[in-house]
Amino acid sequence: MRNRIWILAADGNTARIFKDVNLLKDGRQQPEVETYEIETKRAQDIMADKPGRSHTSVGYGRSAMEYSSDPVREEQHRFAMEIAGKLDHYALEHAFENLVICAAPKTLGDLRKLLSPQVKERTLAEIDRNCVAAPTDQLIATVRSVVFP
């Protein structure tokens, strides 16, 4: 296994990319880390106005319309698109040889759909666990236990 292994730890609002992690080395490591974040917003903060009202097809009644989607979830999906784009850029530059993805389940599902074939072929393992807040040593130990069971 080569040394240029990257680890992506992500959830819907934060992503950390750990560069050049050595899974064969025991002890403390201080890999270079890139962090990306979006501002955490609630649905009421994103939606400034109430949804409109519509007239019923029969009679004189009016009723409130529902939003067609969850705006918080859409923001998280856009964030996953941004992260997938960054990974694709790095893959095209041959910046990493292997990638391990540790992501919250919904984010992992988004990433699976969005990752390019170049990134997918370099993906060594996927862990559906939110490890964004985990200390570096704990994250590396978790990845090591999955890659070397």
Residue ranges and CATH numbers for the domains of the chain are 7-18+32-39+68-149 (3.30.420.60)
Q: Element (H or E) spanning 5, and its range?
A: strand 5-10
Q: Element (H or E) spanning 19, and its range?
A: strand 14-21
pLDDT at 60: 62
137 residue type, one letter: D
What is the rounded distance in angstroms from the CA atom of residue 49 to the CA atom of residue 141? Answer: 46
| pLDDT mean by block of 10 residues, the chain; 149 residues | 80 94 82 89 54 58 60 87 96 95 95 96 95 92 89
pLDDT at 1: 43
pLDDT at 57: 58
Tokens of 1: 């296994």
What is the rounded distance in angstroms from the CA atom of residue 132 to the CA atom of residue 102? Answer: 8
What pLDDT, in 10s, does the model give residues 66-100? 555 677 788 889 999 999 999 999 999 999 999 99
